[in-house]
Chains A and B, each alone.
Chain A
């Protein structure tokens, strides 16, 4: 019976039918709960919304909302610029840190399991409700202040150097002024950066595990040092993941509900500037993110080594 039914279609047709069937839930969901609201939101951003008892009504206003968001609203352009700058500062640091942490966690040492558990803890604990409360938390601020002498606020670097010492050491190394400022402001962000690197560490770690050991064996036989192995094997093999992680970090940074701009848009939706303007703000934000992603991914993926 089965063979008979199977023979009615060619193998290729059957594969296509199965493929469509398996992906059907997503296709329906995508159209109904993503594409449709996505298109609606364009309309919303060009209209004023009026809610009455028997439904809602849109009044066309054209580009007014966009004009409002950009030129009338005092906060929005400032927040947008701030968020972008913060992202430019944090994402490279997150990448470097997670790359470094993954290599560290991939080595064999005592207590590795404990270290891994702790490193992934932020993934589990990164609840928006907790972040929201923490941003208004007196105790964290209070404890931080009382421990300021131990310089825990500045992360680990602070336990060895004070900010001033760090600056003078870096200046002594004849680093350019901008780089010094960057490193110092980064070192003050260490706690935030470590806490938002969990998923990225996971991705790099999985990548490290998938590099075939035989590559390293061959390199050893050829007399390569550990340093050379790193730059000739580990780094190029992980380079596609660097793109993945950059994209992930940027998206994560922009869409996390504790991001002040996301919060600002949400607060405008229910009160403040109103639905229409809030939607226009979201759209400007989205276009900004998309352009940014395209630009970075385009620039970096040229340097990437693909194995296939």
Chain B
């Protein structure tokens, strides 16, 4: 019995060591950013300053707050991400449910196609898509040369609503796996009571699917919020945080009429990154418990 105790203790200690080291590796860059964001420029060149700023300052935050157009950009980013995430959630849930619960010949093909969209690198289709949105036309409805949909929310809305947005194949996959694993009896009861497929889906199946919905929503929201690649392509003029962050340091230098040292630009960028991820950290802080539990209950793996 005693020997078992010792072994247990040693294993516990080792595990603690490993977990702490991994956490350190993950958190260190974040800590370094937070620390440096409070430093003045001269602290950067001071060899004795490592973790604790000698000249503590809020100036970096003030400057980045102004030049990132923080409030406007944050509001835009949040509402845009919310809209797109909800659309993606709606379309992927519908499609995932359709693939999981109805047997029809094309189901396997459609599922394979959804996975296929994941494998194709986005740069293969972004250029044709860019041109299609630039000269947007629909056969028989909107004749050529069409209208310009770039620099508007529409390209993103169309893609999200049809489940072809960024990584939506993954969401379809998650929803399909989830519905495949949930029991059939509730549905059958609803059908016997005379509900049609849509009613059954909305009133009976959705309430039970909350864990999977949370996962998909969070992923969709976070990826949209973080996105720079696609919004930079189709909506370069949007005042979104991921865009304003990119140019804020240069904008500040321009406003002061000077050039900054590379180190100082990094310092400002780090401060901007803190401001950028802060809303996500808060969101994650509120939802992490739910998020992690959901992952376990969705049975992503089937």
Residues of A participating in the B interface, judged by any CB pair closer than 8 Å? 2-3, 12, 15-16, 18-23, 25-30, 32-34, 36-38, 40-41, 44, 54-56, 101, 104, 107, 109, 111, 113-130, 132-134, 137-140, 142-143, 146-147, 152, 155-156, 159, 190-191, 194-195, 202-203, 205-207, 209-210, 240-241, 244, 251, 254-255, 257, 262, 265-266, 269, 275, 278-279, 282-283, 285-286, 289-290, 293
Known: A16-B104, A41-B124, A115-B23. A23 touches B98 (CB 8 A): yes
Q: Assess the B91–A26 pair: CB atoms within 8 A.
A: yes
Q: Assess the A128–B227 pair: CB atoms within 8 A.
A: yes
Chain B interface, DSSP helix/strand/loop, else mixed? helix
Known: A120-B292, A202-B300. A111 touches B121 (CB 8 A): no
Q: Which residue, of A15, A137, A146, has the highest number of chain B Cβ atoms within 10 A? A: A137
Question: From B102, which residue of chain A is reached at the shortest CB distance?
Answer: A19
* Residues on B with beta carbons closer than 8 Å to the beta carbon of A155: 25
Known: A139-B270, A156-B24. A15 touches B102 (CB 8 A): yes
Number of chain B residues close to chain A: CB under 8 A: 97
* Residues on B with beta carbons closer than 8 Å to the beta carbon of A262: 121, 123
Residues of B participating in the A interface, judged by any CB pair closer than 8 Å? 12, 15-16, 18-19, 21-30, 32-33, 36, 44, 47, 50, 91, 94-95, 97-99, 101-107, 110, 113-114, 117-125, 127-129, 131-132, 135, 144-145, 158-159, 161-164, 172, 194, 196-197, 201, 222, 225-229, 242, 245-246, 262-263, 265-267, 269-270, 273, 276-277, 280-281, 284, 288-289, 291-292, 295-296, 298-301
* Residues on B with beta carbons closer than 8 Å to the beta carbon of A34: 117, 120, 125, 164
Q: Assess the A40–B300 pair: CB atoms within 8 A.
A: no
User: In whole angstroms, how far apart are the Cα atoms of A36 and B136 in the complex?
Assistant: 13
Q: Assess the B266–A255 pair: CB atoms within 8 A.
A: no
User: In whole angstroms, how far apart are the Cα atoms of A186 and B74 in the complex?
Assistant: 38
* Residues on B with beta carbons closer than 8 Å to the beta carbon of A18: 98, 102, 197
Question: From B144, which residue of chain A is reached at the shortest CB distance?
Answer: A55
* Residues on B with beta carbons closer than 8 Å to the beta carbon of A255: 121-122
